[in-house]
Structures are given as C-alpha cells and as structure tokens.
Structure 1
Amino acid sequence: MARGVYIHIPFCHQICNYCDFNKFYFKNQPVDEYIEALDKEMELATKKYPESFKQIETIFLGGGTPTALSPQQLVKLLELIRTYIPMSSVTEFTSEANPDELSEAKMRALFDGGVNRLSMGVQSFDQELLKKIGRTHSNKHVYETIALAKKVGFRNISLDLMYGLPGQTMAQWKDTLEKAFALDLPHFSAYSLIVEPKTIFYNQYTKGKLHLPTEDLEADMYDVLMNQMEAHGLQQYEISNFAQAGFSSKHNKIYWENDEYAGFGAGAHGYLAGVRYSNHGPLKKYMETVNAGELPIVYEHVVTENEKREEQMFLGLRKIEGITHTIYEEKFKESMHVRYRHVIENLVSEGLLEDDPKGIRLTRKGRFVGNEVFQQFLLED
C-alpha cells in the first residue's frame, strides 16, 4: 500500500545550470493539456491499484517548478488531486516553490487547495552565486515571499540551500547560513553540488570551465553546516536535512524508510506493489500514452528480495537515527547480522558506523563519506 504521492510538474520559467530533472522551458508548452493528462493518469492508476490509495499520508508537488503554473492552473491541479486522493488521511501536502514566482494569488490557491508545507529553492543568499547557478530571484524576493506565506497561513516552510558551488568561499557559505537562520524557519535542506550529465554545469566541467571548491573545503562547509544547525536548535535527522521538533519531512521519510509511493507526471518515478517504475519523460509521448487510455510507464522493475535489503540499508542509513533491528527483522524475518555482520563490524572498527541493541547508524565521521558506506551493503545475487 502506498504511503505517499509524488506529482511532477516539469515546467520552469528559468532552467538552472545544475538541474538534471525532467523539465521544459514554460513558454509555448501545453500546460493545460498536461494537467488534463495528469487527471487521466491518476484515474487510470487509482482504478488499477485501488487498495494502494486508501491511506495516503503525504503528497508532494515537485518539478520543474509547480509555482510556474498560473493561479487558475494551480486551482485546477489541486481539484483533480482531491478527486482521486482521499484527503482525510493526508497529514503533509508539500509544494516546491521559487521565491520570485509566488504571488499572493498563487499562494492562496495552494493554501486553499490543501497545501500545508512549502519547500522553497533559495540555494544561496549571495547574488553573484545565484547568477552563476542560473537562479533569477533576489534576497528581497525571499524575504517578501516568506512574509507573505506566513500572512496567508503557512507555518511549515522549508528552504533548500547549496554548498560546494562554483567559486563559493567559506565566508559566503557562513553568510548564507546566517541570513537563513534570521528567517526563523522550522526546516532546512542543504545539499552539496553534484555535477550531473545533461546539465549546463556538466558541459562547462568537461571543458575545464567550472571551478569548484576543493573536497576539503566542501567537507569543511558540511562541518560548519552541522555545527550551525545544532547551535540554532535544528536537529539533523537525515544527512542533508535539519528541522525543529515536529517539522521533519514526512514525505521524504517514506523514501528513506523504503516504503511505497505513487509517482505521477512526465518523467516521474514510483514504487507500487513491489515494482519500481518510471514514466515517459517527453511531454508528447507522456500525453499520447495516457490519452490512449494507458499508464505512461516506460520502465518497470520487480524488486528482488536482495534488492529490498540493499535499499533498506542504504536508504535507511541516510537517517541520523539509522535502521532499527526491530524494523529490519519485521521486514525480512532475519537479523541484520545474518547477512551484514562482517560489513557492520568493519565499518564500526573504522569509526563510520555505530551498532548497539537498538540498531545501526552512521557516526558523525560516517556522514562525510555516506556514499562509500552505503556501497558496502550491496549484495551479490
């Protein structure tokens, strides 16, 4: 049974230099027709998997940029979501947002439509860095939009921040954190830049034109991040996420706990009935398929038992609380130490993992090399 629903809105008024998500420049795109196609996809999926949608806990609008839509388009989108998803069990409804796109009309459309959490892509408070990464907002946009969101009624607001950006200094990173904390918000996500293929930054990188901070400086930025979040009363609950008590992301926890969720929209991914799947990315192919009465799935994979174990380990270890022995044993009817004893013992001896009667978790040292730790839990079929 699915716990969450992800809905992809692949339209942007500006394409960021680091973004590798499925997205399209907004101008001249069939946005209204896309919303109608989403309606048809959700109808098809809820009919095929009726049991999976009875107790949805979270909904997440991602992109692209959901707030690229007009107020009227947002109203229509939120109405169709309520048509197919029983809202009585939904406790968290998030929309991603850009600070320079959230007019009061859009904000009220979201709030009145059931959205109770905003995830805002701020990335930096340094205007020159923002230009380098392709962002169009200013600090003034951020301050005004957050004040407006609070006026409309939003209390659960999260900011996305980035470090390890081209040419970024420690002084710039500390200044961004200082300005972020001054906003007195309950949640922050902070990610190091990853240069992904098919992005503007990747093209610059392959030509030797992208000058990134050293690995040591990036690690120091992460260390400052963790220290400053703790000093400002925000608990780290996942490698890249920090929150006041009661404000951790319920939707993202579904991913980290390796539970099922539905993905709707062009290029969306989902995990239903033991099958991971992805949708057609191109708009034309996506819309043609659903308009023909078929789910727009381009790839499906039945997850094997070993893969479920692997995913449980490398997703669960992203959480600061780690993986409890009880939950693992309930899912797989065996102890973690049956398959992973030597791996766990080696990582504990290296100071990267803690192991106690409650469960296993990354140490602070382990958080700096999380991906290297996760790879140790891959099994051979």
Structure 2
Amino acid sequence: MKISFKDAIAFSIIPQIIIVKWLGKHTDWIEIYYSKGIYPFISKAFRSLFGWVPFSVGDLIYFALILSALYYVIRNFSHIKTHKVAFLRDVAMVLSIVYFTFHFMWGLNYYREPLAVKLELTENKDYQELVNFTKLLIQKTNETQVKITNDSSLAVKVPYTHQQIFDKTLEGYANIKSIHPFLDYTTPSVKTSLFSTGLTYMGYAGYLNPFTNEAQVNGLLPNFRFPIVAGHEIGHQLGYSAENETNFIGYLVTAKNNDVYFQYAAYAYALGYCLNDVRRGDKEIFDELLLNLNPGVKSNFQEMAVFWNSYENPMEPVFKSIFNSFLKANNQTEGIKSYNAVVSLLIAYHKQHPL
C-alpha cells in the first residue's frame, strides 16, 4: 500500500521519539554536538532576527496559529465529522512537525550535561547544612534590606522600569562571565510577554519561546521578583533547560549584579526556596528561623503571596498539571518539583564560593 507524504510525516513522530530518547542517554553527545555545537548558532541567529523588535514576535505567532486553528475547525467542522481519520492524521502531522522543530530549535538541551557536573559541584541533602545556609541567607537578606531602606520594617521597592531591569540584567551577565565564561550572553532578546495576564492566571512568571528564542517575562510581576525571572529566562536562552539550573543561574547572575536592589532580590529569592525546604523537614526550626526575618523582608514575601493569590483560579491546577507532565516527558523526572531542586545547587556552590 502506498503511503502518502502526509502519512509519512504523521507516522514519523514515532521514530522521532525513539531517537530523542536514545540520544538522551548520551549526554556527552548532546553537550558537545548540540548544546555547545549547533544550538548556540541557532539561538544567536534567532536572537539577532527578533531581539531588536520591541514586542514579542513569538506571542503574536502563537496567537495567529491559535486563531488559524480555530478558524479551520469551525469552517470545516462538517467535513471533519465525516473524515475523522484524515483529520486525526493531519493533527498527528502537525504534532510531528512541532516535535521535530521544538527539539531541533531548543528541546535537546533537556538532555545535556547537568550544570552541577560543569561546575564540579557535589550536591547533598544534609538538613543541618540546609539550616546553616538558610541562617546565612537570612543574615544577608536582612543586611541588604536595611542597606536599602535604613529601616528594618520597610519593604523594598525596586525603583526601575522593566527595560531598566533588562539592561541591568545584561550587566549582571557581563559580570558573571569573568567567573563562569559559559554564561557569556550577547545579542539580547528579552521582553515582557504580550500575554502577561494569561500567564499570571496560569501561574507562570515567564517562559522561553523555543521557536523564536525570545525570553519572555510576565510584565505583571512585582519588581521585587522581576530581575530573577529575567535572569532565569536568559539562562534558558543559553541552553540550560532544567528549571533548577535556570533558577540557579537566575539567582547567580542577579546576586553578582553591582546593583543592591538586584542583590536583595537574589538573596530573598534563594531564601524563599530554602525556607520551604526547612519547613518540610522541621516546622519548629522553620518557625524559629522565621522570627529572625526583618519585618520589611516578610512584607516583600507577603507582596508576592498576595500577587499570586489575587490571580488564583480553578484552571491554574490544570495548567500546572500539563506543565508538570511536559517537564517529566522532557527528562525532568520531578516535574514542577524540579524548581525546588535549586537548593542543593545553591548550598554546594556556596561551599566553593562563600556568600
């Protein structure tokens, strides 16, 4: 039986999945030939192509594709009902093309060498080390908060526009490359998302568009968190896909910034993750540590909680579940919980590079 071109593309998703999973077992190949080989050229080319545009081209493409798909289904609904197999074949063909494009443009980075290996870090989950590091972060966060406000009871208000934060984030990357050359970042393409309201209701602070290589930051985020997310999404652009690793990169590039507001944002961000891990281990110790936090720092944490709670909706768990499944399908076995795995990276790193 003769197989049509559309059939061939649709069925090609099966060998594609097999090949990707096979390649995923060879992290050294991915690291050398893709993450350090092909991908940097792809990324820089698309950052050059779209980085100068002041709005998100990728968001507009997504919007146009969604409208086109809806228009096609509505217009051809009667035909689809009578040709269900052909329609499903067409859907499979589109998914096959998207799957190939996603992995070629960015997705193979999910299978690259772990960042801990590159940095020669030995991670562990010793609870006492976690508590000690959290105490140090509390001290640094409190000191920086007072340095900014001169009053331990006042919340920090980051006084910059989004563009100023983007510019200062680039300065942070310029600083960090002297310590870690692999974090060298040029030809910037980082923007606020046109769909920031939708992202907020879905519970997302930002994302990297893998098809245009634009780093997108949720424009509704409080400025207290904005610098970290900008650094995080640029980390994705540099080819680091694991969320714990880009959380770490976002922290590192923000903490190494010369700007005191950025340093505060970084320390408070890391502290939040550490306190969560402390609480999971021993609620009494968590309560004791929390007493040492300046009221102004607590106000900033409360600001973030109020922000996310104000956009809480019944569909958010659904979106989180979809993203959780997506992460697990792409070599992040802990799914969304992988964000929290940044803590062991932070502790291991600061053993070598004390705060």
TM-score w.r.t. the length of structure 2 is 0.22
Structure with a larger share of its residues in helix: 2
